[in-house]
Amino acid sequence: MSRTALIGACAALLFAAAASAAAAATTIRWKNGAVTHIGDLSLSRTPTIARAGAALGAPTKTRLTSTETCVVDWTPLALRGNFVNLGGSRPGQTTCSPTLGKLQSAEIRGPALQTQNGLRVGDTLARLRKLHPAARRRGGSWWLATAPNVFGTPGTRISIVRANIRDGKVSAFVLWIGAAGE
């Protein structure tokens, strides 16, 4: 192999690796009935505000909405996380304290994040059906991934990743994480 061809092959491999890493950093992933990643945020460890900030960047806005709930926004990702604490807190702490609240649910309203199959906010319903052929319509949304409902009627399922549809396009993804419990 010539030196030019070798350099070209190395450059192609580096480009492919960089593209793969960039895709992982912006992908919503799930497996076996659980959301496993939101971009670089791994949900296998307790997803606190501190861990989310380390993986996704500093939050744009954080606000305590009740003693149990803290809403955290990452505007560049069009991501809003609902962090919940059901276990009480020490004096001086709130659910918005970096290590207290746990990610219960999230909503994505922009195209910065995509599903593991490549669907983004703004894509058409036809593209959703092509990329996620097993998705099922429930009301005004399409359930992309489900899990057994452990708190409700036995044998039923809940959505862990759903796509809301407005005017024939994906308007938001809603994720159920459940890290705080019920």
In a domain, 104, yes or no: yes
Encode pLDDT of 66-85 as tens digits. Answer: 999 999 999 999 999 999 99
Q: Are 139 and 124 in contact (CB under 8 A)?
A: no
In a domain, 3, yes or no: no
The confidence band for 175, taking pLDDT boundaries of 50, 70 and 90, is very high
In a domain, 58, yes or no: yes
Encode pLDDT of 28-43 as tens digits. Answer: 999 999 999 999 999 9
In a domain, 162, yes or no: yes
In a domain, 20, yes or no: no
In a domain, 158, yes or no: yes
- Between the ranges 7-16, 18-27, 38-47, where is the mean pLDDT highest? 38-47
Q: Is the pLDDT of residue 161 over 70?
A: yes
Give, rounded to a whole angstrom, the gap between the first and last alpha carbons of the chain.
60
Q: Are 164 and 140 in contact (CB under 8 A)?
A: yes
* Total number of domains constituting the chain: 1
**What is the per-residue burial (b if ≥16 Cβ within 10 Å, else e) of 98-110?**
eebbbbbbbebbe
Phi, psi of 124 (to 5 degrees): -80, 160
Encode pLDDT of 100-116 as tens digits. Answer: 999 999 999 999 999 99
- For CA atoms 94, 46, 155, 128, the dihedral sign is positive
Q: Residue 69: which domain range?
A: 27-176
pTM summary value: 0.84
Quote the pLDDT of residue 14: 30
Nearest C-alpha neighbor of 74 from the set 103, 43, 33, 115: 103
Q: Which of the pair, 139 or 23, is modelled with greater confidence?
A: 139
In a domain, 21, yes or no: no
In a domain, 68, yes or no: yes
